[in-house]
Amino acid sequence: MKKIILIICGALVLLTAIAFFVLKQNEALFFGPSNEELAIRAGRIWYETGFYRTEASIKTESELKEYLASRSELGLIINLENLLTFNNGELSDYIDKIVNRRTNEPCNIKTTLVAIFPKEPFGPTDYTIEVAKLDCD
């Protein structure tokens, strides 16, 4: 009888561990994109279709490359509030979903920051991007 109970308990622990692993691996499938993914998507759109196009239209190619090179280490830092103002709120679908997953309260749009680091050859998609600060408390 004790062996059966041990086998059942072991099987339950194993099944729980497998379920947790599968759920963690497919978190986006069950819960949607993470806050980081949403902020990065919004930052990409802003940089490629807004910032880069605007800068490219007002600077010569060499001026643009020089400017972007100067920002390659420090990065371009933008908060969610500024992303919301882009193109008449085009990014609000992303920003509105960046919430504390426990309380469903919005993250702080003034202090949540995305950092974009231009890199050579400084074209519209030549950069790395990360969430510099996620303020969702």
Query: pLDDT tens string for the chain (137 positions)?
Result: 777 877 776 766 777 767 666 555 555 456 689 999 999 999 999 999 999 999 999 999 999 999 999 999 999 999 999 999 999 999 999 999 999 999 999 999 999 999 999 999 999 999 999 999 999 98
Centre a 10 Å sphere on the Cβ of residue 98 and count the other Cβ atoms it contains: 25
What is the reported pLDDT for 24? 56
What is the reported pLDDT for 2? 79
What is the reported pLDDT for 17? 65
Angle at 98 between CA 92 and CA 112, to 5 degrees: 95
Q: Read out DSSP for 60-109? A: -HHHHHHHHHHTTTT-EEEEHHHHHHGGGGTTHHHHTT-B-TTT-PBP-T
What is the reported pLDDT for 3? 79
How do strand 76-79 and strand 127-133 relate by DSSP bridges? unpaired
CA dihedral 81, 133, 124, 34 (to 10 degrees): -90
What is the reported pLDDT for 53? 96
SS3 call for 5: helix
